[in-house]
Amino acid sequence: MQRSANPETACPVAPVVEIVFSRWTTPILWALHQHGRQRFVELQHRLSSITPKVLTQRLRQLERDGLVARTYHAEVPPRVEYEITELGASLGPLFAHLNTWADAHLPAVERARSAYDAG
């Protein structure tokens, strides 16, 4: 097997991990998938520990990546809604597999951590 000179391209899933598992991306996508189209304040309420600045940044990045769609309604006052796109929803099976893995293996990870920390 030939080794890649660039560590960023050595792993073929690294770009996916960078996109999907950046801080706050998974909770935002999960909230939009579970609860459908939402306004900014609704998302902020569901993700109570995220700051408005960070939520704005993450939503912009997710929109840029094609995972979230932003709809602006020219009303008074203006209304903006966010929803997961078909591309974003296509991550559902990945999240389902990760959930299955977590159910099966997180207890073992916790045991390993406890053993490591104790010893």
**Res. 4 pLDDT band, cuts 50 70 90:** low
> How far apart are alpha carbons 70 and 91 in whole angstroms?
18
pLDDT higher than 80, residue 84: yes
Specify the pLDDT at position 20. 85
CATH of 14-118, one of 3.40.50.2000, 3.20.20.60, 1.10.10.10, 1.10.1370.30: 1.10.10.10
pTM to 2 decimal places: 0.80
When comparing pLDDT for 43 and 14, which is higher?
43
pLDDT in tens, 85-115: 999 999 989 888 989 999 999 999 999 999 9
pLDDT higher than 80, residue 7: no
In eight-state DSSP terms, residue 68 is E
Beta bridge partners of 81: 39, 71
In eight-state DSSP terms, residue 74 is -
Give the count of alpha carbons within 13 A of 56, CB side only.
4
pLDDT in tens, 19-74: 888 889 999 999 999 999 999 999 999 998 999 999 999 999 999 999 999 999 99
Element (H, E) at 56: helix 52-64
Q: Where are the domains of the chain?
A: 14-118
